[in-house]
Structure 1
């Protein structure tokens, strides 16, 4: 079958590890199902996998892709939950120390077929397309958990979303606006700021710019480049929710601001199967949908990865297998 995969870890040149070619058809163990992939979406995690982050050398070659949607062998449409709990774990999957994920412990979704545990294939309602559903399992689920589970904030409050162009940040703007938050966003270019306003942001400014007012919550996936601004933008008692550091670890912790202003710093990533089911229902009931910035055949995966590496994205990038 055709697949997009990492041949070996390449920390300094991730795209040199990228291959597009034939891989063996997956076997289907007991308790698992095979899914014919109709659409899959890119995440930053895929670039980290090409670099070998969090994956031992003996796990390569590894088919990339954490997110996807498709059909079971009986034709039933499904959306995939990419976090896989360890045997016997009964709590929150995100807190499971033995958890794994697609393109980690399991081969990923950038292929014509993927095998997952039965519980990781959720029914896909007719209101959502395969492309839309393929964007939900990582970036949108992370944003959903950040906003509705981790932050403790309420609709009507004001939030700041840093770096509005990628999957998590665009999801945060869309979800926040749909739920009744007042959303402020930052973007490096006028095009990115215009996108934020399109998605529902009340205000969009340059990174680090003075805000019209301090905010109740900040959502930061950027790290070093935005951290000081994120901390200083908060009202006393505010919360900063972080899910990543695409520009690296912050140079300064801003500890004085944190303890003097009684701020909360909360870390989270991805989410549970139940939260994904809630997110799907939220999309159906509100009409909110992911922004698909690019839709490409899997044979053009190199172009898609280069755009993500260079920060030249607008929402989510979807890959589709050959028809």
Structure 2
């Protein structure tokens, strides 16, 4: 079958390990199902896989793609839930010590066919395209959990999104506006800030700029480059929710500010199946849809990954057929 995969870990030149070619068609073990993939979206995790981060060398070659949407053998249209947990674990599967994400242990969705546990497919809303549904399982689910499960914010309060145009950031903007929060956004360029404005952000600022007032919560995916600004931007008792550190680990930690202002630092990783169910229902009820900056054929996955590597991403990049 056709597939886009990483041939080997390559920390210094990740795209050198990218292969667009053929792999064996997988057979689902008992309790698993085959999904004919119609669309899949790119995530930073795909670049980490190409670099060999979070995946053992013996797992290569590894088909890329953390999430997607497609069709079961009986014609049912489905959305993939990307977190593969221990069947014997109960509770929040993101806390399962044995859980993994697609492309870490199991092959990913950039292929004609993917096999996943039956519980990892959810009905696709009829009103949602395959391309839109392919954005839900990773970036949008991460944003949903950060905002509605972890932040403790109430509608009417002010939130700051660090980074204006990435997949999680654009999802946070759209979800925050829809839910009634005042949404402020920082961005490195006028073009990126314009994307945030087009999605409904109430105000945008240059990266590191002094804000008109402190905010109730900051949503972090950047890390080192924005951490100090994040800590300075919070009200006493405010919260930072962090789900990534694309620019590296934060240094220094600003512990004096943390304890003196009684700030809350909350980690968030992906989301649960039940949260994905609620996210899909929210999209149905409100009509909110992901901002897709580019839609490419699967054969042009390298072009999309290059744009992500170079930081030229405005919303989600989706591969479709």
Fold-level match, TM-score > 0.5?
Answer: yes
* Correspondence 1:144-293 to 2 at 5 A: 144-293=144-293
Structure 1: tracts of 5 or more residues without a match: none
Q: Give the root-mean-square deviation of aligned CA atoms.
A: 0.6
1:162-210 Cα offsets, whole Å, 9 max, x none, are 0111100000000000000000001111111111111111000100001
Mapped partners of 2:298, 2:126: distance in 1: 24
Mapped partners of 1:310, 1:180: distance in 2: 33
1:122-162 Cα offsets, whole Å, 9 max, x none, are 01111111000000101100000000001111111000000
Q: How far apart are residue 54 of structure 1 and its match? A: 1.0
Mapped partners of 1:301, 1:124: distance in 2: 24
Aligned residue for 1:147, secondary structure, equals helix
Mapped partners of 1:193, 1:205: distance in 2: 7
Q: Are 1:116 and 2:116 counterparts?
A: yes
Runs of 4+ more than 3 Å apart: none
Mapped partners of 1:86, 1:45: distance in 2: 21
Q: How far apart are residue 251 of structure 1 and its match? A: 1.9
Aligned residue for 1:249, secondary structure, equals coil
Mapped partners of 2:101, 2:224: distance in 1: 27
Mapped partners of 1:162, 1:136: distance in 2: 20
Mapped partners of 1:82, 1:262: distance in 2: 35
Mapped partners of 2:121, 2:250: distance in 1: 37
Mapped partners of 1:104, 1:116: distance in 2: 13
Aligned residue for 1:108, secondary structure, equals coil
Mapped partners of 2:286, 2:198: distance in 1: 16
Q: How many residues align?
A: 321
Aligned residue for 2:228, secondary structure, equals helix
Q: Could you tell me which residue of structure 2 aligns to residue 60 of structure 1?
A: 60
Q: How far apart are residue 212 of structure 1 and its match? A: 1.4
Mapped partners of 1:212, 1:115: distance in 2: 50
Mapped partners of 1:296, 1:37: distance in 2: 14
Mapped partners of 1:85, 1:42: distance in 2: 22
Aligned residue for 2:147, secondary structure, equals helix
Q: Are 1:12 and 2:12 counterparts?
A: yes
Aligned residue for 2:16, secondary structure, equals helix
Mapped partners of 1:271, 1:110: distance in 2: 21
Structure 2: tracts of 5 or more residues without a match: none
TM-score normalised over the length of structure 1 = 0.98
Mapped partners of 1:134, 1:103: distance in 2: 16
1:275-311 Cα offsets, whole Å, 9 max, x none, are 0000000111111110110001111111110000011
Aligned residue for 2:271, secondary structure, equals coil
Q: Could you tell me which residue of structure 1 aligns to residue 27 of structure 2?
A: 27
Aligned residue for 1:244, secondary structure, equals coil
Q: Could you tell me which residue of structure 2 aligns to residue 91 of structure 1?
A: 91
Mapped partners of 1:273, 1:23: distance in 2: 29
Q: Could you tell me which residue of structure 1 aligns to residue 125 of structure 2?
A: 125
Aligned residue for 1:213, secondary structure, equals coil
Q: Could you tell me which residue of structure 2 aligns to residue 37 of structure 1?
A: 37
Q: How far apart are residue 87 of structure 1 and its match? A: 2.7
